Amino acid sequence: MPAVVRLHLGRAAVQVLAGGHRVDLLHIKGDAVEVAVRPPTSPGSDVDVLVRPEHASALDRVLRDLGWSVYSTYLGGSPFGHAQTYHHDTWGFLDVHRSFPGIGLAPSPAFERLWATRRTIEFASVRCSVPSLPAQAVIVILNAARARRPLEPDGAWNDAGPRREIEIEVDELEARLAFDAAFGRLDNHRGAREYRLWKAITQGGGRVEEWLGRVQAAPTFRARAALVLRAPLVNRAHLEHRLGRRPSSGDIFREFLARPARGIREATRRKDA
């Protein structure tokens, strides 16, 4: 089956599942980005959706009941804790986002804004909700910043009219720091709580710098303390994916010992650079 066909059928399958259980979600990224925002490029390799945060637990239960297995968790998947990845033998990979990196507005009101201005497009004859065109552009830009990918020169953000609408959406979603990072203007936000984390992510600061950025970006003392306690722990999902098998207790112990050594090497390289 061609990859694009599988993706379209996968999106339709997820939408039917969500609609049948009254779960609100928006299809994002990849083939859910309309040509008015970005010319057709690669459709991507998985299905991405943004779920209403209050519906995330219900969606998780339904997915597991219908044969989807968890590939990586919210806590272990990224420094933002924003998405959980599932796998299905037929439909492939699904990334369920409960928030989107770079959007500073709290997840629930951010989703509500995106939901209120949503559009619909069809995948395999199933109507699927997607963000408005300006919001699609914002998500593409924020994702490019996080992935350290250049933006296509002919995207909607280069036209004066759409660019004004995009700028309004950026401010409504409180996404200015990450938006500026995509265009090389991150230093305009020195002193911001999230600055160090985005600097590490967009400029390749290494794992130690990323964790320091995560701690600094945490909104409360309790959240910072939890991150400090988690930092030395082994990410079992990542280790399993790297080894290609379930890690043994010996694998986990060796990885636990190796983490401080890698951190010291990173710190030494930064000092010598």
Every domain of the chain and the residues it spans? 1-189
The CA distance from 217 to 70, in Å, is 27
pTM for this model (two decimals): 0.81
What value does the mean pLDDT take over residues 203-227?
77
Q: Which of 59-63, 137-141, 153-157 is the least confident region?
A: 153-157
Bridge partners (DSSP) of residue 88 are 92
Which letter does DSSP use for residue 221 in this model?
A: H
What would be the CATH architecture of the domain defined by 1-189? 2-Layer Sandwich (3.30)
What value does the mean pLDDT take over residues 209-236?
72
pLDDT at 195 over 80: yes
Work out the burial of residue 179: count CB atoms within 10 Å of its CB; fewer than 13 is exposed, 13-18 middle, 19 or more buried. buried
Q: 81-90: long-range contacts at Cβ-Cβ below 8 A with a sequence spacing of 24 or more?
A: 83/48, 84/60, 85/46, 88/10
Residue 233 half-sphere exposure, CB side, CA atoms within 13 Å?
10
